[in-house]
Amino acid sequence: MIVRLAAGLVLGVWVAGGLLLTLSPVYPAPGQVVEPNFIPLRTIGIYLANLDSGFWLRNLVGNLVLLLPVGLVGPIVFPWMDRWWRVLLASLALSTAIELTQLGIPDRSADVDDVLLNVVGAMLGYAAATLLRLGSGRPGAVVQRD
């Protein structure tokens, strides 16, 4: 029970901080174009071509880690997230909601690649939790049912 409460606190603080960052207006530097992208892998290509740029690297890493805790501790907090595909669907829904909301925020835009990276991050979190569980000798379900 204490583990679930602690995990819930971590997840809640992380998601609240992420929402604050992603749903607040930003003011891009001159030359940084902010426009919607609905073409998969377009922005990821820009990220990969500019790994020497702190701006693009922060965006790449930020999108990967934004929903990582959903996969890492989400299954502890929400027992229904005990399967990889449920984590995938939950992170897809949350990320899509964030991106669609950004369409109405000044200097923000929706990007399908942000959704892809957010979901990959959540799945990396789930994979890490699975490896930790297997390393502990408990290969069963992510959480014990109450």
Please say if the pLDDT value at position 51 is more than 70. yes
Name the pLDDT band for 106 (thresholds 50, 70, 90): confident
- Residue 146: predicted pLDDT: 44
Residue burial 61-88, b: 16+ Cβ < 10 Å; e: rest: ebbbbbbbbbbbbbbbbbeebbebeebb
Mind listing the pLDDT tens digit for each residue in 130-140? 999 888 876 65
Put simply, whether the predicted model's pTM sits higher than 0.95 gets the answer no
Name the pLDDT band for 43 (thresholds 50, 70, 90): very high
Residue pair 73/57 in contact by the 8 Å Cβ criterion: no
